[in-house]
Amino acid sequence: MNDTLRTIDRRTSLRRYKDTPVTEEHSNILLESAMRAPTAGNMMLYSILVIRDQETKDILSQTCDHQPFIAKAPLVLVFLADMQRWFDYYRMSQVEEFCVRTGLDFRGPNLGDLFISISDALIAAQNVVIAAESLGIGSCYIGDIMENYETHRELFGLPAYAFPVAMLCLGYYPDGYEPRIRSRFAQEYVVFQEKYRTLDEEELVKMFAETEAAFPCPNKYGAENAAQLMFARKTGADFSKEMHRSIQEAMENWQGRPPTTKRKAT
Ligand SMILES: Cc1cc2nc3c(=O)[nH]c(=O)nc-3n(C[C@H](O)[C@H](O)[C@H](O)COP(=O)(O)O)c2cc1C
């Protein structure tokens, strides 16, 4: 193994941080690493919000499914899927008139733009995770940043075509911290050669054997197996319903309607 592979292999999510700010030098390295990530068409369809303000972190620790450790992270980065810059640039450069003149269909940001900008934002975020790890800075993604869209739009002053798709909590490892490497499903259930393969019940039993063996019973959800527990804790949980609602609200802006069309104030 080389150093890069060791960094990838030993990374775990860190939810407890040394009570020390991330240095300016390290913060800059993390942001530069994000910006070196591959990006569709080199358009950099993302923005990064650097959050150090305690009040903002306190709010995020509530709005992101009540996770107190967010408030204690020395550095928080929010990754936005962002088409706003490009559509502002298109507008100032008379792209709509150009389309009329040349017979191209003009349109506003659509779901394709959203997904490709989400790809850009997440790839940039993961570059930060690996760069951070190599500097002794641990990280934890917060998917709940996709909840409470209206509150986050207000909090960050987001324009219509910038959607917060991921958040990273970052901070130095506490002294003496022993990372717990969490196991993954076996490769045969996740990686397929050439064509997709739907797993049959026998394979699902094998795939989840370790999870079922560690399944805590009894539990507060009344779940009788790990699948029931996982549904109660994740897929069917309130935060998941809120995420669905919040994303649906944000998606209003990504239906391909030209930006000049009047729509809900942002
Ligand atoms: C998209 C995404 C969202 C996540 N959201 C949260 C979160 O809101 N809170 C949290 O504590 N961990 C969150 N995590 C971290 C995962 O729980 C963690 O990656 C997973 O349990 C595997 O553990 P490991 O990263 O230590 O290997 C998230 C990870 C990803 C990739």
Query: pLDDT tens across 79-102, in order?
Result: 999 999 999 999 999 999 999 999
**Average per-residue pLDDT for the chain:** 96
Tell me, yes or no, if the pTM score tops 0.85: yes
d(CA 223, CA 232): 8
> CA quadruple 116, 118, 124, 129: dihedral positive or negative?
negative
Residue 231 DSSP class = I
Per the CB < 8 A criterion, the answer to whether 142 and 63 are in contact is: no
For residues 26-50, give the mean pLDDT: 98
- Look at ligand 1, atom 28, and give the residue with the nearest C-alpha: 141
pLDDT per position as a tens digit, 112-150: 999 999 999 999 999 999 999 999 999 999 999 999 999
* Ligand 1 and 141: CB distance under 6 A: yes
Token pair of 244 as six digits:
């669905």
Ligand 1: residue of 13, 64, 147, 180 to mutate (most ligand atoms within 8 A of CB) is 13
Please give the distance, rounded to the nearest whole angstrom, from the Cα atom of residue 79 to the centre of ligand 1: 15
For the 3-182+236-254 domain, the top CATH level (class) is: alpha beta
Q: Is 10 in the pocket of ligand 1 (CB under 6 A)?
A: no
At 94, list the tokens.
């008379």
Q: Residue 13 C-alpha to ligand 1 middle, in angstroms?
A: 6
For residue 252, count other CB atoms closer than 10 A to its CB.
13
Residue 19 has pLDDT above 80, yes or no: yes
Domain range annotation of the chain: 3-182+236-254
> What is the helix (H) or strand (E) element at residue 149, kind and residue range?
helix 149-156
> What is the reported pLDDT for 259?
84
CA of residue 100 to ligand 1 center, whole Å? 47
For residue 162, what are the β-bridge partners? Answer: 82
Cβ-count burial 124-135 (b if 16+ within 10 Å, e if not): bbbbbbebbbbb
pLDDT at 262 over 70: no
**Terminal Cα-to-Cα distance of the chain (whole angstroms):** 49
pLDDT digits (tens, 9 = 90+) for 151-197: 999 999 999 999 999 999 999 999 999 999 999 999 999 999 999 99
- 227 CB-contact burial (10 Å; exposed 0-12 / middle 13-18 / buried 19+): middle
**pLDDT value of residue 145:** 98
What are the residues whose beta carbons fall under 8 Å from the beta carbon of 126, sequence distance 6 or more?
Answer: 37
Angle separating helix axes 3-10 and 111-134, nearest 10 degrees: 110
Say whether pLDDT at 261 is over 60: no
Q: Ligand 1 in contact with 45 (CB < 6 A)? A: no
**pLDDT of 209 strictly over 90:** yes
| Helix H or strand E segment including 246 | helix 238-251
Give the model confidence (pLDDT) of 96-117 as tens digits. Answer: 999 999 999 999 999 999 999 9
The pLDDT, as a whole number, for residue 260 is 65
Return d(Cα 38, Cα 12) in angstroms, integer: 23
pLDDT confidence tier of residue 71, bands split at 50, 70 and 90: very high
